[in-house]
Amino acid sequence: MAGRPETKQYWMDQLSEYWDSGFTIQEYCELKELSYESARRWISQLKKEREGQAQTDEPLEFVEVTPDSPKIPCVETGIKLYSNGVEVKIEKNFDGESLVQVLQVLKGLPCSASAVQ
């Protein structure tokens, strides 16, 4: 690690890459040849800074947000399921027994044309 800069931005970049990597901090430090102790110290320091920024004495101000376009009433309710070219539309007050029957029929169908051959 000799010769590497110990700047805040350097460690923010390293730790951002670490958080996206899926490795433990120890694994990441070994892989990147970083000091484990320095990484832990920077994690702690950046966490304290982030917490300090979150705790402001300024009151929050709420702002009303309105869409540019007029409201279009939503007529449809329910959901639509699409799979392999099959569409199943389930309305708000659907009949559960009918849905079970449809799903049983779909379960018996082959997944693709290649499965039929």
Query: Is there a domain that residue 71 lies in?
Result: no
In the chain, how many domains are there?
A: 2
Task: Please give the residue range of the domain that contains residue 90.
Answer: 79-110
CA–CA distances in Å: residue 30 to residues 37, 44, 46, 109? 12, 19, 21, 51
The angle, 0 to 180 degrees and rounded to 10, between the axes of the packed helices 8-21 and 36-54 is 100
Average confidence score pLDDT of the chain: 77
36 vs 109, higher pLDDT: 36
Classify residue 23 by its DSSP letter. Answer: S
What do you get for the CA distance between the two ends of the chain, in Å? 60
Look at residue 26 and tell me if it is in a domain: yes
> Is pTM beyond 0.95 here?
no
Residue 2 lies in a domain: no
pLDDT at 115 over 80: no
